[in-house]
Amino acid sequence: SGTSMAAPHVAGAAILVRQAHPNWTNAQIKSALMSTSKYLDVYNYNDTPAQPLDMGAGRLDLTNVLNPGVLLDPPSVSFGAVPTGTVQTIAVRLTGVATQTETYNASTLFTGNGFTATTALPGVTVTPAVFSLAFGQTRVISVTVDPAASQGIGENQGYIVLDGTAHDAHLPVWARVVPAAQAKDVLIIDNDASALDP
């Protein structure tokens, strides 16, 4: 378990993808490995549902890695700290690699309450929600987080799911909602014993 075992498995998987797709960049190979990983029905040691902060995009699964349908840039969406009262958006560039044109439905997914009680991820939206992508075509989708509609202060995490005609993909999304910085009152005292005005 751990990185000592994960590193050779991922390296070996990446070599297989490189052999099948010698023209793909390292980032594209990473995208294929991440977007086709197993992210449902994966549990932590204490039997809680594993989330992006537990496992990233999921557990490596080579079933569809050579034919992922779409390549993602970036393959995960990390907002970092998002203050209340703000709205932030990250653009994700998609490149179609399926042999036929795919129509994708984009949605959000929260599995923190269990894999049989999934919901949309509050406060996170994807636009457009429906789009088509031909082989070699690129397009941009926007992932937006609004703390006012989110799960509140703290970690907000889940997935963007791309449900295609023949291919499916996913990418983890995470934001840490934090209180907005409060303005500070500053008291200035003129106490230099000078008779002159400052």
- Give the tens place of pLDDT for each residue, 176-193: 999 998 767 777 776 666
pLDDT confidence tier of residue 91, bands split at 50, 70 and 90: very high
Instruction: Write down the pTM of the prediction.
Output: 0.88
**Per-residue model confidence (pLDDT) at position 187:** 73
Closest by Cα among 92, 73, 52, 39 to 175: 52
**Per-residue model confidence (pLDDT) at position 188:** 72
State which H helix or E strand residue 11 sits in.
helix 3-20
The model's pLDDT over 153-180, given as tens digits with 9 standing for 90+, comes to 999 999 999 999 999 999 999 999 999 9
Is residue 171 within 8 A of residue 160, CB to CB? The reply is yes
pLDDT confidence tier of residue 124, bands split at 50, 70 and 90: very high
